[in-house]
Structure 1
Amino acid sequence: MKIKATVKKHYPNAKTGAEITESYLSLLEKEYKSDLKKMLFATSVCSDDVNVSTDFRRVLSRPFTMGGLGGLPYSGFTGMVAFSHHIPDGGDAFIFYGPHIGITDNGELGKMRRIGQSRLTNSCGALMLALERFKQSNEEPTYVPQSVYYDYQQIQLEQSLMPFKHEILHSDNPKKAITDFTYVAIDKQIKQLVKMSINEFTCDRIFLLGGVIINTSEEFNDYVDVRNFDVINTKNTNDFKSVSILETEAFKNL
């Protein structure tokens, strides 16, 4: 299929959302002997309506929503603690997170054709707005107090990406770069929040799956470019290592 080749050109390791769902649920159940009926699922993905790429919700009920614009975990420490308190007895925690980026049928990144529309729109809209603001100003943008109050998430997103501004603007593809650096920011924040709240978790394990969601037109599958998979033992707080998808046989066989 043409769209698959188009996606693979930019994200060689990407797989469809359905493939990611099936592979990782199988991994959790068979490799880690996790009872999916007792697993509490959380997401930190953008609030954009297109982000239904994976089908984890079909199996893992009652998702706890941490993310907002761009996918940053705006629920913060309080949200992570609340999530930790909601896990069923004898169950595990599973968090899926990351930013998203659209791709057109012709391979342009940062835009997509949405359901029921013939025109192209930005995806992720919040990230493309941040990119435009970065291009327009040599300095850190200033915000009027009313904007800070009424547009908090967008401003926080831009502030989180400010350390990467130079690299983003001077990259070969700034739209892809700002998405990649947003992943770095989300990954760092999620792991910091888990560390801050680790003693609140009554479960033994926390599974973290992070990646970039690639949105395509409605007649095609969306894709996910997995960046890392972490298994955190809550009883051993020193055991907090990111596991590359390429490092173990279990991941190689996904």
Structure 2
Amino acid sequence: MTFETTLNNYFPGSISLEDYIHQTHEKLTPLGFTNENTFACVSVCRDEITKPLLDQTDLVWGEVFNFSSLAGSLTLGKTGFAAASSHAPIIDGLERYIFIAMPHIAISEKGEIGIVYREGRSGASHACGALEAIIDEIGNGKLHLQLDMDDIEQSILKTKIFEKLQYGEKPNLVRITKIAHEIIVEDLERLIQVSEKEPYDYAVLTGIMIHGPEESNYVYPQSFYAVTMENREEKKSLVL
């Protein structure tokens, strides 16, 4: 098994991170989104290996508002979202935002799921560690769902994921990562709807960030749509 085989088996249609950011930018520009008038908000896992997504977004769209939490989940709530959605430049009375949100997973050169090698560490490391910890709890039959005030983000993440599982299900890392993506989309769309703001143009970009060999990064694209003054009552789906 190789990295490419595993990538194509579980995440068909994935593209390099750089291509993803540039292609989505090209699709959004004709709809009025530019780096001069648009404010980017990004949610990825707190893991340092997700920083390339923040850096690429910053390079193309300008300085970003960081939504990030464990596994890319959106724990900032209405207050954090309200802060982020009050920072875009107001041009001709209109604000524009893009929201990028995704969990992450690693695939080694040998096609091993969840395995990544970090500089300075001799052994294998893991991504996403927060999701693997949940898998371990389920496998051990010791899933703790009460709110742990010393582990708030993980507590919230576990509860939301558990609600998506079938009774007795023991998900693997690919399955639980896709569940995490589903939760992120639901939370993001709810926060957009409950934000008490005047209408603004926005685009939603979601998927799964994939770490490959030699610090390469890919994106498995999922939701990609825009809501603008011209199509305020419907989402304009976009295709890469």
User: Does the pair score TM above 0.5?
Assistant: yes
The yes-or-no answer on 1:23 pairing with 2:5 is: no
Alignment of structure 1 residues 193-212 onto 2, 5 Å = 193-197=191-195, 199-201=196-198, 204-212=200-208
1:131 partner amino acid? I
Report the Cα distance in structure 1 between the residues aligned to 2:78 and 2:11, rounded to whole angstroms.
Answer: 32
TM superposition score normalised by structure 1 = 0.83
How far is the alpha carbon of 1:113 from its aligned partner? 1.2
Any conservation in 2 of the 1:42–1:96 contact (CA below 8 Å)? yes
Any conservation in 2 of the 1:43–1:95 contact (CA below 8 Å)? yes
Distance 1:228 1:188, change over 3 A: same
The yes-or-no answer on 1:230 pairing with 2:228 is: no
2:207 partner amino acid? G
How far is the alpha carbon of 1:105 from its aligned partner? 1.1
Equivalent residue, structure 2, for 1:63: 64
* Partner SS state of residue 213, structure 1: strand
TM superposition score normalised by structure 2 = 0.88
The yes-or-no answer on 1:133 pairing with 2:148 is: no
The yes-or-no answer on 1:105 pairing with 2:109 is: yes
* Partner SS state of residue 133, structure 1: helix
* Partner SS state of residue 79, structure 2: helix
The yes-or-no answer on 1:50 pairing with 2:54 is: no
Equivalent residue, structure 2, for 1:85: 86
Distance 1:151 1:178, change over 3 A: same
Any conservation in 2 of the 1:3–1:220 contact (CA below 8 Å)? no
How far is the alpha carbon of 1:131 from its aligned partner? 1.0
1:28-67: CA deviation from partner (whole Å, max 9, x where unpaired): 12x3132222211111111110113431111222211112
Distance 1:68 1:134, change over 3 A: same
Give aligned-pair identity as a percent: 21
Task: Point out where structure 1 has 5 or more consecutive residues left out of the alignment.
Answer: 246-250
Equivalent residue, structure 2, for 1:119: 123
Distance 1:57 1:133, change over 3 A: same
Any conservation in 2 of the 1:168–1:177 contact (CA below 8 Å)? no
Report the Cα distance in structure 2 between the residues aligned to 1:88 and 1:168, rounded to whole angstroms.
Answer: 49
Greater CA drift, 16-25 or 49-58? 49-58
| Correspondent of 1:180 among 174, 178, 181 | 178
Q: How many residues align?
A: 234
Any conservation in 2 of the 1:168–1:178 contact (CA below 8 Å)? no
Task: Point out where structure 2 has 5 or more consecutive residues left out of the alignment.
Answer: none
Distance 1:242 1:101, change over 3 A: farther
Any conservation in 2 of the 1:18–1:53 contact (CA below 8 Å)? no
How far is the alpha carbon of 1:4 from its aligned partner? 3.6
